[in-house]
Structure 1
Amino acid sequence: MLADRLRAALTEGHARDIGIGLSDTRDPRIREDMVLAPAAVLVAITDRPEPGLILTQRAASLRKHAGQVAFPGGRVDEGDADETAAALREAQEEIGLPPRLVDIVGTSDRYHTFTGFDIIPVLGVIPPDLPLTPQASEVAEWFEVPLSYALDPANRLRKPIEFQGEQRHFYEIIWEDKRIWGITAAILANLSRRLNLGRLAA
């Protein structure tokens, strides 16, 4: 089963030193310690012979990160039991993904954002071709990108950006007409280091 292969690969990846450092797990604009609110995203992987990855494009009307590609997810609320519960709730709210259909695999490297969130990526396997429905106020659309493409370092660029007179770097992945960058691309970069794609082959 794909979920079992992912669990084994993730466990093995977290058991070895793969060189993930502070610069890989926090926004490069963060220059000192800051108070962070807990948040979670769902890395939903479709159970296909060639697995896919579900991503969303945020609505253009949003005040923050409008139009950007993202994982379903958000802040951990008081009513959430933990980060996994938050990720499942947010995915249901944003794209209509029933929590009962998600086979939880585990969590990957957290990421600290410049906007003050401590994000836990929650991996889960879902059936393919679900009739997902985006919540129009938050999500313009959802799409599926091949997991192997999203995790392949050859498809990931490290690009410079100037912030407050200093040069920083961010990751960018281009798939068809979609630009995956920032937090989403950073989480995928860390995940690609943890998972050995060869172990995911059926």
Structure 2
Amino acid sequence: MMLADRLRAALAEGHARDIGIKLSDTRDPRIREDILLAPAAVLVAITNRAQPGLILTERSASLRKHAGQVAFPGGRVDEGDMDETAAALREAQEEIGLPPHLVDIIGTSDRYHTFTGFDIVPVLGVVPPDLILTPQADEVADWFEIPLSFALDPINRIRKQIGPQGDERHYYEIMWEGRRIWGITAAILVNLSRRLSHARLVA
């Protein structure tokens, strides 16, 4: 079975059953009450290899928010975007020069609500391997590819906590070749691992 078909089947099955994802898994723990959220989307671009990879970016150090952090290509849904998928494709093209027509859309995973006021929809897509991508320097310092199996394997993530005693909040961290993947990006990967049933997908 081709990678795109395997992913579609795994994602559909994951959404059809209760996998135990809680509200705390889909929102920043600092959100204590209902807040106004702006629609946003990220592209979870999976490379079509025998051992699939996952394209991630390193945000520019000059950005006002989340400077230098590892992230998926993506951003706010604009008025001209038909939906979250269109927004994710547009942002990936703007940030790293990924041509939208090369993305085979698989579907969407669990939304994530951020403390900064965004309702993020992860859009999964399969892309050809070894694309020549060019980061948009104002937003993206670099991009890299991590093995999908590594990113989704529970053994490679650590659950950590931050904050004063009695008001701690937890987050996940994944380390790969000196790069720290945490916060929103890691939370989306953890939920995606559960939806895709990591052990079965990579078997």
TM-score by length of 1: 0.97
The answer to whether the 8 Å contact 2:149/2:202 transfers is: no
Q: Secondary structure at the match of 1:65?
A: coil
CA distance in 2, matches of 1:199, 1:123: 18
**Pairing of 1:97-116 with structure 2 (within 5 A):** 97-116=98-117
Q: Distance in 2 between matches of 1:50 and 1:191?
A: 17
- Report what 1:58 is aligned to: 59
CA distance in 2, matches of 1:185, 1:23: 14
The residue type equivalent to 1:40 in the other structure is A
Count of matched residue pairs? 202
The separation in 2 between residues aligned to 1:4 and 1:200, in whole angstroms, is: 11
CA distance in 2, matches of 1:62, 1:165: 32
Alpha-carbon RMSD across the aligned residues, in angstroms, is: 1.3
CA distance in 1, matches of 2:119, 2:28: 11
Distance in 2 of aligned mates of 1:199 and 1:87: 27
Match of 1:77 in 2: 78
Structure 1 segments of 4 or more deviating over 4 A?
none
One-letter code of the match for 1:4? Answer: D
Q: 2:194 maps to which residue?
A: 193
CA contact (8 A) 1:29 1:163 kept: no
Deviation at 1:201, TM superposition (A): 4.6
Quick check: 157-166 or 188-197, which moved more?
Answer: 157-166
- 1:145 equivalenced with 2:172 (yes/no): no
Percent identity over paired residues = 83
**Could you say what secondary structure the match of 1:29 adopts?**
coil
**Aligned equivalents of 1:171, 1:201: Cα separation in 2:** 21
Rounded to whole Å, the distance in 1 between the matches of 2:88 and 2:165 is 33
Secondary structure of 2:168's aligned partner: strand
Q: Distance in 2 between matches of 1:154 and 1:125?
A: 24
User: Relative to structure 1, is the Cα distance of residues 137 and 163 closer, same or farther in structure 2, using a 3 angstrom cutoff?
Assistant: farther
Q: Map of 1:113-192 to 2, 5 A cutoff? A: 113-162=114-163, 166-192=167-193
Unaligned runs of 5+ in 2: none
Q: Which residue identity lines up with residue 58 of structure 1 in the other structure?
A: R
Contact 2:109-2:124 within 8 A present in 1 as well: yes
What is the letter of the counterpart of residue 64 of structure 1?
K
CA shift for structure 1 position 164: 9.5
Tell whether the 8 Å contact from 1:2 to 1:200 is kept in structure 2 after alignment: no
The Cα offsets for residues 133-172 of structure 1, whole Å up to 9 and x where unpaired, read as 0000000000000000000000011101006961110010
Q: For residue 19 of structure 1, what is the amino acid of its counterpart?
A: G
Counterpart mapping for 1:87-102 below 5 A: 87-102=88-103
User: Separation in 2 of the partners of 1:171 and 1:59?
Assistant: 22
| 3-state SS of 2:15 partner | helix
Indicate the larger mover: 53-62 or 154-163: 154-163
TM-superposition CA deviations, 1:80-114 (whole Å, max 9, x none): 00000000000000000000000000000000000
Superposed CA offset, 1:61-84 (max 9, x none): 111100000000000000000000
Letter in 2 for 1:159: K
